Amino acid sequence: METRYLRTLAVVAQTGSFSKTAQQLHITQSAVSQRIKWLEDHFGRELFNRTSTRLLLTDAGKVALEKAHEILALEDQMVEELENLEHGHPLRVSCTPTFGTVQLPQALNRFMLRNYEITDIQLLFHVPEQAMVELREGHIELAVIEHCGRMDFEEFATYTLPDDELVFVSAHTLNLPKGRCELSQLREHTLYVRKEGCSSRSLLENNLRQRHLSLRDFRKTVVTDGLVVTIEAVRAGAGIAFISRSLVEKDLAEGILREHHVHGFNHQRNRTLVVNWNRRNDPAVKAFISCIFNTFNLPSPVEDDSATG
C-alpha cells in the first residue's frame, strides 16, 4: 500500500471535504475520491459517512485513521533518520521574542563555544500554542515557553525556568508615578500590546478581566508584532506597554523609562523549557538545555557530555 493513500485519508478526516483535500494536496478532487474508494475496497469497510454536508469518519474510519497516523509517523521518522546519516540532525529551537532578545544570545554563545562541530541550528519565534504544535509534529526539538498558568505538557520532557516579571513602562515625559500606580491613571494613555496568543497580552487581559475591564478601556490600543516598535514608541512618549522587565532594565536604570505596578495585578508569568520526548537524550539537545540553565546561573538538570568532552 502506498502511504500517499493514508496521507489522503488523514487530510480528508481533517478537512471533511474532498475538494478542500484536493486543494491542500494539489491533486484533483477525482484523485482524492479514487484514493478513498481504493482504501474502502481494500479494507472492505466504508471509512466515511457521506450522508451529511461534511464527511465524517465511521467507526472503521476512526480505526484506520489512528493506524494511518502511526504508519505515517514511522515513515517520516525513517526519512528523517536516513537524511541525518548524511547531513546530521539540525537543532531547532523555538522561543518567544522576549527570551530571544534577552537570554538566547548568551545561551547560544555558550553552546557554540562548546559544540563547534554542530553546523545546522535553526532559531524560531513562536507564541506558546504554536510552539506546542511544532513540538508535537516534530518540527522543533525544544522550546522555551512563557505562559500564564498551567499548560498541558504531559507528552513532553519539561524543565522549569525562573518566572518572568512583567511591568507597565512609560517615558518620564508622561509624568506617571514610579512604582505603584493606579490602573485608572494608566488607562488614560495609549497602550502598545502584542498580538493575540502572546503570553504578555494574555496575562494583561486576565488581570483586566478580573476587574471587569478589557483592552478597549484604555485611551487607545496599538497592536504590534515587534518588541522594537513597542519599546521605541514608549521611549518616545507615545504610550505605555506591559512587557517583560528584562527587556528594558537598562532604560529603567538610566531613567529613560519608568516602571509601574498595579496593586492586585499578577505581574509574573511562568517560563518552561519543553523538549520533544524523542530527542531528550540527544547530546546536542542536552547541551543546549545546559546552556539555557547556565544563562540563569542555575545548574543543568541534565548530564551535558559537551561540558566534559
Q: What is the pLDDT of residues 191-223, one digit of tens each?
A: 999 999 899 999 999 999 999 999 999 999 999
Write out 82-126 in H/E/C secondary structure: HHHHHHCCCEEEEECHHHHHHCHHHHHHHHHHHCCCCCCEEEEEC
Q: What is the pLDDT of residues 78-110, one digit of tens each?
A: 776 666 555 556 899 999 999 999 999 999 999
* Domain 3-87 identical in fold to domain 89-309: no
The domain ranges of the chain are: 3-87, 89-309
Domain 89-309 listed as CATH 3.40.50.300: no
Instruction: Say how far apart CA 273 and CA 222 lie, in whole Å.
Output: 30
SS3 at position 48: strand
- Please give the model's pTM, rounded to 2 decimal places: 0.69
Exposed/middle/buried for 155, CB within 10 Å: 0-12, 13-18, 19+?
Answer: exposed
Instruction: Quote the cell numbers at residue 133.
Output: 504544535
Q: What is the DSSP letter of 55?
A: -
What's the CATH number of domain 3-87, 1.10.357.10, 1.10.10.10, 3.40.50.720, 3.90.550.10? 1.10.10.10
pLDDT on residue 309: 45
Instruction: Say how far apart CA 306 and CA 216 lie, in whole Å.
Output: 51
Which portions of the chain are predicted below pLDDT 50? 308-309
